[in-house]
Amino acid sequence: MKTAVVTGAAGAIGSAICCRLVSRDYRVLAVDVDPEGLQRLPEQTVPVLADLTRPDFTDVVLAAVEAAGRHCDVLVNNAGMVVPGPLEDTDPEAIHREQLVNLYAPMVLTCRLP
Ligand SMILES: NC(=O)c1ccc[n+]([C@@H]2O[C@H](COP(=O)([O-])OP(=O)(O)OC[C@H]3O[C@@H](n4cnc5c(N)ncnc54)[C@H](O)[C@@H]3O)[C@@H](O)[C@H]2O)c1
């Protein structure tokens, strides 16, 4: 069985991607920061509760891949967030979190997942 990692798995598009991959017999590691959203996914998915803004997120995802057979066949960097409003009014911390989710996490997962 092939293994897929889907980030933002609990969201609108992520959950649809998870359902499609499950229907194609993938083992789906569903990564999200939203525990209730992960519970709503098909029971065949493996919930991986991780916050992509936290320094430990790669360890959490890597541990899940290790437990699932040590190899990721498909990575879907789907998680994303937008900080609404004019840039000049935006809290720099929020901009940083946005960049971590939208840019840093996809790059790190692409490089690190076996
Ligand atoms: N819906 C659209 O029309 C549209 C259009 C263009 C691009 N996109 C992009 O597609 C992707 C999915 O969109 P969507 O509409 O399903 O969004 P969504 O808001 O429904 O889902 C995003 C998911 O990412 C998760 N997430 C956010 N921050 C996280 C973090 N720090 N750690 C882990 N998970 C986190 C959320 O919990 C959520 O489940 C996003 O990257 C979005 O920017 C969406």
CATH architecture entry for 3-112: 3-Layer(aba) Sandwich (3.40)
Instruction: Determine what percent of the chain is predicted with pLDDT higher than 90.
Output: 99
Per-domain residue ranges of the chain: 3-112
Token pair for 15:
């959950």
Other C-beta atoms closer than 10 Å to the C-beta of 16 total 11
Predicted pLDDT at 48: 98
Q: Is the distance from the beta carbon of residue 11 to the nearest atom of ligand 1 less than 6 Å?
A: yes
Ligand 1 centroid to residue 57 C-alpha, Å: 17
Predicted pLDDT at 90: 95
What is the spatial distance between Cα 44 and Cα 40, in angstroms, rounded to a whole number? Answer: 11
Residue 70 pLDDT grade (very low, low, confident, very high; cuts 50, 70, 90): confident
Q: Summarize pLDDT for 13-64 with one digit per residue, the tens.
A: 999 999 999 999 999 999 999 999 999 999 999 999 999 999 999 999 999 9
Token pair for 10:
């609990």
9 CA closest ligand 1 atom index: 39
Taking 90 as the threshold, does the pLDDT of residue 104 lie above it? Answer: yes
Q: Is the pTM of this model over 0.85?
A: yes
Taking 90 as the threshold, does the pLDDT of residue 81 lie above it? Answer: yes
Instruction: Determine what percent of the chain is predicted with pLDDT higher than 70.
Output: 100
Token pair for 90:
């935006």
Ligand 1 centroid to residue 95 C-alpha, Å: 16
Tracing tokens 């995802």 back to the chain, one arrives at 61
Predicted pLDDT at 50: 98
